[in-house]
Amino acid sequence: NLNLLEDGKERKEEVAVAEFHKKIKEAFEVFDHESNNTVDVREVGTIIRSLGCCPSEGELHDLIAEVEEEEPTGYIRFEKFLPVMTEVLLERRYRPIPEDILLRAFEVLDPAKRGFLSKDELIKYMTEEGEPFSQEEMEEMLSAAIDPESNSIHYKDYITMMVIDEN
Amino acid sequence: MNTPNLEDMGCGTSSATKDKKSEKALKAALVIQNWYRGYSARLKTRQRYALTIFQSIEYADEQGQLQLSNFFSFMLENYTNVPEKEPGLVTRLFGSSIQDKDRQDYLGLIEIPDSYCGPRLQFPLTFTDIDLLIEAFKQQQILHAYYVLEVLFETKKVLQQMPNFTHTNTSPSKEITICGDLHGKLDDLFLIFYKNGLPSVTNPYVFNGDFVDRGKNSMEILMILFVSFLVYPNDLHLNRGNHEDFMMNMRYGFTKEILHKYKLHGKKILQILEEVYTWLPIGTIIDNEVLVIHGGISESTDLNLLHRIERNKMRSVLMPPIPMDGDRAEKKNKLGTATVALGIRTSGSFSEQLTKQEWEQVIDILWSDPRGKRGCYPNTNRGGGCYFGPDITSKILNKYQLKMLVRSHECKPEGYEICHDGKVITVFSASNYYEEGSNRGAYIRMSSGTTPRFFQYQITKATCFRPLYQRVNAIESSAIRMLKERMISRKTDLIRAFQLQDRNKSGKLSMGQWAFSMENVLGLNLPWRSLSSHLVTTDKDGNIDYMSGFQDVHIQKPVKEVQSSLIETVYRYRSDLQIIFNIIDSDHSGLISMEEFRSMWRLFKSHYSVHIDDSQFDELAERMDLNKDGSIDFNEFLKAFYVVHKFDQLNKSDTKLA
C-alpha cells in the first residue's frame, strides 16, 4: 500500500518492529535448549525480564496465560510468544523501577532512618508482604545484600552496587 | 499500575494511619520484589549468554578438526606432488611409530630411583592400590612412569579380551552409577567417590568417556580409572569418548600434560596410550535396556555391525580411512606401491583400516548430539557425527528393543538434561567446565525397574560461597574475553565484511548489518544484539562503530617488521599448527628442523588457501631466533602469538594452546 509506505512514521515503526522481532528471537533462542522453537514455561519470566521489562508476578501470570497453548503443555511456542512480546515492547509496558523509587521503598521500610535494615526485618518484609519471595529467592538476595559483620543490609550501598554491576 | 505512589497521603484516625502504614509497607515491598526479580532474571540471562558463548566457540573449534583432517587426507593423497625432499615429512606424518615391542622392552629400561617417594603399586592390583593412588594424588604426587606404563600394559591386555559393548546387569540391591565427561578435573572425581563411594563389586560404575584433556589432572584420572578397572574389571566399565584419541590430546592438552610431567618417558607413555585408547569399548548396555555411549546415534546406527567391527582399528577421528572406491583404483595402486616403497606403514595400510561405513558408524557414536528437530542431519557445529531428533531415538531404540539412551559429550548447566520424551539423558560430570561457576556436574544412579536418580554437585574453591552476581561477572568477563580473541583473530576478514556494507565509509553500521557480518565471518550463532554492548560502542542513533570492537585487544607482535596479516593467521591457526608440529616431532623433543618447519608451512598454506608470502614467514622464523642448532622450538614459537587485552592489570599471556 503505497500510501502507508510514503508515511515516514509508518516506515520507522516497521523498522522498529523488525528490530524487536530479532531481539525477541535472540532472547528466546538462548533458552530454547532443544532448538525446536519452544521454551520451558518456567523460563518465560526470565526471558521477558531479560528484554528489559519488569512485570509483577501477577502481570507475568497473565502474560503467560496469553502465550500458553489452549491445553497447557509446559512449553511455550515462539509463534505465540513473538506477537505478544512485540506488543509489550511497542507499548513500552512494564517499565523498570527507577533507582530513586527503589531507594524510597527501602526508606519506607526503615522509618527510623537508620540507613539499614536488619536481616530479620528484610526477611519478614520480603517473605510475608507483597508478592512473597520463595526461600531460594530470599537466600539469593541475602547472599549479595547482607553485610556479614553486622548482619544487616545497608540498602543505599547495596543499590549502588547493583546498579553499577548492571551498567 | 507499576510505580506505587509513596507520598504521604495525609493524616486520619489512628487505625486509618495504621492501615495506611501497612499499605505503604506493602507497596514498598512490592517495589523491591519487582526490582529484585528483574535483576535476578537479567543475571541468569547473562550467565546463560556466557555459557552459549563458551559452547559455540568450543564446537567451532571442533569443527576446525574437520579441516585439519581434510588436510591430512589431502597430504596423503597428494604426496606424489610433494617435492623430492619432502618424503621425509610425509613419513614422519603418517609413519606409524608403534613397533611391536613387548612390555619388557619398555619396562626393562626404566628404574625407579630410591629417592622416589610417590605411590608404589603392587601387581596384581587390589583395592588398597586404589586407596593408595587417591591419597597420593590428593597430595599432588606424581605416579612414576614405570607404574604408569605397567598399568597401561595391563589395561590393554585386559581390554583386548573384552567385546565392543560391555553387557551388565543391575538388581534392586545393586544399582549402577553412570558418570559423564570428567576432562581431567580430579576434584570432581574425588567428590563423586566421596558422595557415592569407591567402585567395588557392590558399587559398579560406568564412566562414559572423555576422561582426559582440558583439565590439568588427566593422567591422575586415567590412572585411578584404569587401576580401578584392573581391580574390578566386571564392575568398573569404561566407554571410549571422542577425546580418547591421541590426536585430540595433541590439541586439547593431555599430550602437553604428559610431556610436562614425564620428561624422560613421556614419549613411551604416549605410544602405549595411543593403543590403549583403541581398545576401549564403544559402549555399555545395562539390563539389555539402557544403551550408554559417549555421543549419540544416527539414523543408520547399526548395533550389530558395531558389535562385530575390529574396534582397535579406529585410531583417530583425524585419520579417516583412505578412499578405496573404483575410480580411484589406479591412484590407490600407485599409492599402495609407493607407500610400500617408502616404507610408510600408515593407519591406512588397507587391511589395517576400517571400511568407510564402519568408521562413520563409530564417529556417529562418539560425536553426535540430540536435538529437538526431527530427523538426522550433519552436525555442522562440531564437524563430525550428526544431530538426531526424537524420531531417530525412537526408531533406533525400538529396533534393538532398548528403552533409554544415556550419553554425555555436551556440557549442561545442571550437570544433566533429559530430552526426547525421557528417552535420552545427557550426563556431564565436570563441574565448572568452562569457568568457575559455569555449571554443575552430575551422576546418575539406576537399577532395573526403578526411575533413575540424579545427583548434582559443584566444586567451589572459595571457602565462603560467592554471591551470584560475582560468579556471573566472572564467567561473563571470561566469555567476552574469549569472544574478543576470536574477533581479533579474524580481524582482516571482519573489517572487509564491514566495509562492504558501509557504502558511505562512515565507519558505522546498523545493528542488523553488524550482527549479520559478525555471525557470517565468525560462524558463531550467538545473540549478537544482546552482546553488542560488551563488544562495541553504539551511538545515540543506535548505530555501531565497528572498529571500536578491536580497540582494546591486539595480538602481540613477536617481531615488529612482519605484517599484521601474517601474525593474525598464525594466531588464528595456532591450535592446528600445534597438532601438525607435534606429529612431525616424532621423537617428542619439542624441536623440528627449520626445513621441516618451512615445508610444513608451505603445504599448510596451500591447503588452507592462506595468501601470505613465503618470504614473510621465513623472515618471521629467522627473526624470532628460536633456532637451536638449526631446529625450531615450536612451542616457544606458538607461545609468542597471544592476545593482549588493554585493560589487563598484569600483562598475562592468554594462550589457550592445547
Average the pLDDT over B629-648 and give the result. 76
Q: Could B35 and A144 be called an inter-chain contact, meaning their C-beta atoms sit closer than 8 Å?
A: no
Cell of A128: 510475608
Residue of B nearest to A49 (CA): B38
Cα–Cα dist B275/B183, whole Å = 19
pLDDT tier, B91 (very low <50, low <70, confident <90, very high otherwise): low
Tell me the shortest Cα–Cα distance from B50 to chain A, in angstroms: 10
ipTM given for this complex: 0.92
Query: Among candidates B404, B129, B120, B200, which has minimal Cα distance to B285?
Result: B404
**Third-level CATH fold of B121-315+365-463:** Purple Acid Phosphatase; chain A, domain 2 (3.60.21)
Cell of B264: 624422560
For the B557-641 domain, the top CATH level (class) is mainly alpha
B477/A contact by beta carbon, under 8 A: no
Give B374-378 contacts, CB < 8 A, sequence gap 24+: B375/B299, B376/B298, B376/B299
Phi and psi at residue A163, in whole multiples of 5°?
-65, -40
B143-182 confidence digits (pLDDT tens): 999 999 999 999 999 999 999 999 999 998 899 999 999 9
Separation of CA B465 from chain center: 28
Say if residues A38 and A75 touch (Cβ distance below 8 Å): yes
Which residue in A23, A33, A101 is closest to B529 by CB distance?
A23
- Between B609 and A19, name the one with better pLDDT: A19
- Between B461 and B656, name the one with better pLDDT: B461
pLDDT tier, B3 (very low <50, low <70, confident <90, very high otherwise): very low
Average the pLDDT over B321-343 and give the result. 44
Domains B466-554+647-651 and B557-641 share a fold: yes
Average the pLDDT over B74-102 and give the result. 51
B44/A contact by beta carbon, under 8 A: yes
Strands across the sheet containing B627-628: B591-593, B631-633, B627-628
Mean pLDDT by 10 residues, chain A (167 residues): 61 82 92 86 93 92 92 90 93 90 93 91 91 92 87 91 79
CB count, 10 Å around CB of B634?
22
Average the pLDDT over B260-280 and give the result. 90
DSSP type of residue A148: T
Say if residues A16 and A89 touch (Cβ distance below 8 Å): no
Angle between helices A8-31 and B528-535 (to 10 degrees): 90
Query: Among candidates B194, B180, B81, which has minimal Cα distance to B406?
Result: B180
Angle between helices B329-342 and B87-94 (to 10 degrees): 90
Instruction: Give the number of A-B residue pairs with CB atoms closer than 8 Å.
Output: 143
Interface of A with B in 64-83 (CB under 8 A): none
CA distances from B424 to B170, B371, B375, B393 (A): 19, 10, 15, 8
- Between B3 and B202, name the one with better pLDDT: B202
Domain boundaries, chain B: 121-315+365-463, 466-554+647-651, 557-641
Which residues, in sequence order, are bridge partners of residue B446?
B176
H or E element that contains B640: none
Average the pLDDT over B528-539 and give the result. 91
What integer pLDDT is reported at residue B610 of this predicted model? 75
B144, B243, B409, B588: which one is catalytic? B243
Mean pLDDT across chain B, nearest whole number?
83
- State yes or no: pLDDT of B80 exceeds 50: no
Cα–Cα dist A51/B529, whole Å = 11
Respond yes or no: is residue B243 known to be catalytic: yes
Residues of A in contact with B465 (CB under 8 A): 143
A26/B contact by beta carbon, under 8 A: yes
pLDDT tier, B626 (very low <50, low <70, confident <90, very high otherwise): low
- State yes or no: pLDDT of B64 exceeds 90: no
- State yes or no: pLDDT of B336 exceeds 70: no
Cα–Cα dist B361/B365, whole Å = 7
Which residue in A108, A125, A143 is closest to B6 by CB distance?
A108
Interface of B with A in 382-421 (CB under 8 A): 417, 419
**Third-level CATH fold of B466-554+647-651:** Recoverin; domain 1 (1.10.238)
A50/B contact by beta carbon, under 8 A: yes
Cα–Cα dist B151/B7, whole Å = 77
